[in-house]
């Protein structure tokens, strides 16, 4: 083999240049399209996946989290896991499934402390203000308390007992003379730690913690509650209503 | 009949000297991986996290600047510890040579080296043509997509971070992508992933453009054109001019940032043509 020829710098023709460039752009464009589709799909969090306490809202979290796993290693209870490829959570991001291991709500929030990027926001000061998700009594037909039993387990394991979950007394219409104590979650207090779901004695929990985006409804922005507006104004906002005579059905 | 690659070097220098840098690299790659793994495995916490972001001895933050850039493109301003970490790592690879990451740290290097090795053993010579510039297009894509999507799209499938993360935190289905890279390199394109596509390598290529540590074909007059270095080099185009371009006015320094400073050429050369050298920044563009 002669050594002088093969190593001359090849001159690239314009045609070659355009061919190469368009091949590159087409190939990468194809890859980008597929990737964008996959990315769009994985932008919504699956219902059983919860983010660590203080995590930014999902959209911002996915822009911020570098998938380093420092929060996972900081978690003393092995609650947090990193999402794997094709799992229903964005690859490499931390999540927990309350049904497997719930959040123990450490007071010093080690996962937040470990996060280098602010994906777990440093603004969360107390673990009791965390909003990892929201517990919902999803199945009122299987919950033992709705059968009139005094299971109460979800209520008793709640770290914010009588604040995040209260037992609301209702009349038991089946027996006619007993009470039912319905576990009732209050969204302003519930941290979404998942202890209630984890502790539910049913083979499939009746109370489940969902990401807040799924669990919460949203009021129309134009809605005003008359009684609240009345309190704010210190009195009725409209003039005295005309008092018309009541019409009673005949024979009533 | 040509001798197998490295035959002359082993005869003149011995097996160990012919594999010195290769062994050092494997030691370095596996050592770094081991440091990360002994934390969760044995509760020995020298370093926490993974290559994307980590904390050394509970004090020194380190963040992959490529991931940090993706986060920035996605619209998130990182906390200071991640920014400091990204600057540390950028400075580190700027000094040592950008693609030192590829050959001395990145775990995927072992996959592509294995494919390359098997290619030689099985004498697979077919290789689909693909421009080595493709990686820069892919790099551009990985930084443009987050601007539109608001999420680090590349990190969904990035084999580099996935491999490293998988070893520490569980691989899941991630091995599919790693096997894919192995087969791609073995059957479709020689050095396909690391040499043509990987945007992380392209990023570190840019970081190391003016780095002061380079390989030089210092004693190129001793070269007997056995071509062993071309056979083992992951980016053989970087060798051409420094080795054979003297009459065209090219110096012996391997200036291309494609070079990963893997030093395999130093190992394999029976004539001691190559060595690692340091240069002052202004001389970098010889």
Model confidence at A103, pLDDT cuts 50, 70, 90, reads very high
Distance, in Å, from the CA atom of B99 to the CA atom of B93, rounded to the nearest integer, reads: 8
Where a domain ends, among B191, B207, B223?
B207
Point out the domain boundary residue: B207, B225, B245.
B207
A-chain residues near B240 (CB < 8 A) = 7
Stretch A205-217: mean pLDDT, rounded? 89
Tell me the shortest Cα–Cα distance from B278 to chain A, in angstroms: 26
Give which of A57, A58, A66, A73 to mutate to test B binding, by max B Cβ within 10 Å: A66
Comparison of pLDDT for B231 and A102, the residue scoring more: A102
- Reading phi first (left if > 0) and then psi (alpha if -120 to 50, else beta), residue B71 is in alpha
Supply the pLDDT for residue B31: 92
State CA B14 to chain mean position distance: 26
B251 and B138 fall within a common domain? no
Taking 80 as the threshold, does the pLDDT of residue B250 lie above it? Answer: no
The per-residue pLDDT of chain A, averaged, comes to 85
Residue A12 confidence (pLDDT): 64
- Residue B165: count other Cβ atoms within 10 Å of its Cβ: 28
Residues B161 and B243 in one domain: no
The residue among A67, A86, A118 with the most chain B CBs within 10 A of its CB, best to mutate, is A67
Same domain, B247 and B129: no
Residue B35 to residue B151: CA distance in whole angstroms: 30
In a domain, B153, yes or no: yes
Query: pLDDT at residue A182 above 50?
Result: yes
Q: Output phi, psi for A213, to 5 deg.
A: -60, -30
How close A125 gets to chain B, by Cα (Å)? 17
Strands (E), A27-129: 81-82, 94-95
The minimum CA-CA distance between A209 and chain B, rounded to whole Å, is 25
Rounded CA gap, A51 and A58, in Å? 8
Say what the pLDDT of residue B198 is. 92
Q: Over pLDDT 90: what percentage of chain B?
A: 11
pLDDT class of A8 with cuts at 50, 70, 90: very low
Q: Evaluate whether residue B224 is within a structural domain.
A: yes
pLDDT given at position A9: 47
- What is the rounded CA–CA span in Å between residue B207 and residue B93? 7
Q: How confident is the model at residue A1 (pLDDT cuts 50, 70, 90)?
A: very low
Q: Highest-confidence range of A100-109, B12-21, B266-275, by mean pLDDT?
A: A100-109
Per the CB < 8 Å rule, is B55 touching A118? Answer: no
Residues B92 and B2 grouped into a single domain: no
Q: Are residues B180 and B269 in the same domain?
A: no
Whole-angstrom distance, CA of residue B281 vs CA of residue A114: 37
Task: Report, as an integer, the average pLDDT of B211-237.
Answer: 85
Residue A202, pLDDT above cutoff 90: yes
Please give the model's pTM, rounded to 2 decimal places: 0.76
Position with higher pLDDT, A202 vs B13: A202
d(CA A67, CA B53): 8
A111-145 pLDDT, tens digit per residue, is 998 888 888 988 888 998 889 989 999 998 899 99
Residues B54 and B162 reside in one and the same domain = yes
A251 falls in which pLDDT band (50, 70, 90)? low
Please, which pLDDT band fits residue A206 given cuts at 50, 70 and 90? very high
- The confidence score (pLDDT) of residue A52 equals 92
ipTM over 0.95: no
Report which DSSP code applies to A157: H
pLDDT for B2 beyond 70: no
For residue A31, the chain B residues in CB contact (below 8 A) are 138, 141
For residues B227 and B285, state if they share a domain. Answer: yes
Closest CA relative to residue B52, chosen from B150, B159, B144, B135: B159
Residue among A83, A113, A111 at smallest CA distance from A96: A83
CA distance A94 to chain B (A): 11
Task: Write out the E strands in A112-157.
Answer: 134-137
Is there a contact between A116 and B155 if contact means CB atoms under 8 Å apart? no
Measured CA to CA in angstroms, residue B190 lies from A27, A49, A190, B85, B207 at distances of 18, 41, 56, 34, 24
Contact state of A69 with B245 under an 8 Å Cβ cutoff:
no
| Cβ A107 vs Cβ A164: under 8 Å | no
Residues B71-94: b if buried by 16+ CB within 10 A, e if exposed: bbbbebebbebbbbbbebbbeebb
Residue B20 lies in a domain: no
CA distance B286 to B283: 6
Over residues B151-170, mean pLDDT: 86
Whether residues B163 and B216 fall in one domain: no
Domain-embedded: residue B62: yes
Please give the average per-residue pLDDT across B209-217, as a whole number: 86
Q: How many residues does chain A have?
A: 252
Instruction: Looking at the complex, report in whole angstroms how far the Cα of residue B276 sits from the nearest Cα belonging to chain A.
Output: 23
What pLDDT does A252 receive? 52
Smallest Cα–Cα separation from B265: which of B3, B1, B9?
Answer: B9
**Cβ neighbours of A43 in B, within 8 Å:** 149, 151
Q: Using the 3D structure, point to which of B189, B207, B225 is the last residue of a domain.
A: B207
In a domain, B78, yes or no: yes
- pLDDT (tens digit per residue) in B114-135: 998 888 888 878 777 777 888 8
Give alpha helix (H) positions in B97-174.
100, 108-122, 134-149, 159-169
Q: Is the pLDDT of residue A84 over 80?
A: yes
Strand pairing category for A178-185 and A207-210: unpaired
What pLDDT score was predicted for residue A209?
92
Domain count, chain B: 2
Whether B270 is covered by a domain: the verdict is yes
Shared domain check, B168 and B133: yes
Of B195, B225, B2, B232, nearest to A6 by C-alpha is: B225
Q: Among residues B134, B168, B133, B141, which one has the least CA distance to residue B157?
A: B141
Total beta-carbon pairs less than 8 A apart between chain A and chain B: 170
Q: Is residue B37 included in any domain, yes or no?
A: no
With CB atoms and an 8 Å threshold, state whether A72 touches B74: no
- For residue B6, name the pLDDT band (cuts at 50, 70, 90): confident
* More confident of the two residues A80 and B82: A80
> Is the domain of B264 the same as that of B279?
yes
Four-residue CA torsion sign, A110, A115, A120, A126:
positive
Same domain, B92 and B196: yes
Token digits for A78? 């092995």
Q: Note down the domain range covering B189.
A: 46-207
Does B39 map to a domain?
Answer: no
Residue B47 above 70 pLDDT? yes
Q: Report the relative pairing of strands A165-172 and B60-63 from DSSP bridges.
A: unpaired
The HSE-up count of residue B151 (CA atoms within 13 Å, CB side) is 25
The number of beta carbons lying within 10 Å of the beta carbon of residue B138 is: 23
Residues B246, B118 share a domain: no
- What is the band of B73 on the pLDDT scale with cuts at 50, 70, 90? confident
């Amino acid at each position: 083999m002669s050594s002088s020829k093969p190593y001359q710098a090849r001159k690239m023709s314009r045609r070659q240049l355009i061919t190469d460039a368009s091949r590159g752009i087409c190939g990468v464009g194809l890859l980008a399209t597929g990737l964008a589709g996959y990315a769009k799909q994985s932008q919504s969090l699956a219902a059983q996946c919860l983010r660590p306490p203080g995590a930014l809202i999902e959209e911002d979290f996915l822009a911020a989290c570098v998938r380093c796993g420092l929060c996972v290693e900081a978690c003393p209870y092995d609650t947090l896991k990193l999402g794997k490829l094709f799992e229903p959570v964005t690859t490499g991001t931390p999540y927990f499934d309350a049904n497997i291991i719930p959040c123990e709500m450490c007071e010093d929030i080690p996962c937040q402390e470990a996060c280098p990027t602010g994906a777990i926001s440093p603004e969360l000061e107390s673990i009791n203000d965390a909003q990892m998700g929201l517990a919902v009594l999803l199945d009122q037909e299987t919950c033992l308390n709705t059968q009139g039993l005094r299971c109460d387990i979800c209520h008793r394991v709640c770290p914010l007992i009588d604040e995040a979950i209260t037992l609301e007394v209702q009349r038991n219409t089946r027996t006619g003379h007993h009470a039912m104590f319905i576990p009732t979650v209050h969204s302003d207090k519930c941290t979404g730690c998942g202890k209630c779901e984890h502790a539910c004695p049913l083979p499939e929990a009746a109370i489940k913690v969902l990401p807040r985006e799924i669990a919460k409804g949203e009021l129309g922005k134009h809605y005003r509650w008359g009684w609240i507006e009345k309190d704010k104004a210190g009195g009725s906002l409209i003039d005295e209503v005309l008092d018309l005579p009541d019409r009673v059905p005949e024979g009533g | 009949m040509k001798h197998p690659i490295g035959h002359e070097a082993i005869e003149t220098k011995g097996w160990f000297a012919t594999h010195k840098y290769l062994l050092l690299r494997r030691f370095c790659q596996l050592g770094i991986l081991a440091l990360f793994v002994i934390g969760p495995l044995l509760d020995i916490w020298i370093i926490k996290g993974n290559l994307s972001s980590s904390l050394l001895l509970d004090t020194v933050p380190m963040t992959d600047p490529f991931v940090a850039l993706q986060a920035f493109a996605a619209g998130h301003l990182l906390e200071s510890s991640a920014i400091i970490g990204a600057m540390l790592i950028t400075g580190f690879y700027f000094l040592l040579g950008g693609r030192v990451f590829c050959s001395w740290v990145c775990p995927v290097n072992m996959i592509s080296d294995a494919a390359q090795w098997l290619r030689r053993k099985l004498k697979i010579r077919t290789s689909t043509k693909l421009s080595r510039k493709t990686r820069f297009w892919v790099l551009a894509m990985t930084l443009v997509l987050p601007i539109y999507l608001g999420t680090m799209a590349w990190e969904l499938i990035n084999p580099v971070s996935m491999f490293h993360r998988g070893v520490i935190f569980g691989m899941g289905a991630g091995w599919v992508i790693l096997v894919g890279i192995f087969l791609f390199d073995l059957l479709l394109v020689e050095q396909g992933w690391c040499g043509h596509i990987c945007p992380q390598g392209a990023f570190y290529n840019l970081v190391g453009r003016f780095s002061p540590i380079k390989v030089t074909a210092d004693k190129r007059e001793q070269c007997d054109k056995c071509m062993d270095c071309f056979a083992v080099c992951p980016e053989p185009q970087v060798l051409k001019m420094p080795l054979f371009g003297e009459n065209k006015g090219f110096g012996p320094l391997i200036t291309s940032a494609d070079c990963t400073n893997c030093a395999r050429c130093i190992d394999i050369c029976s004539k001691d043509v190559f060595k690692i050298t340091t240069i002052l920044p202004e001389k970098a563009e010889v």
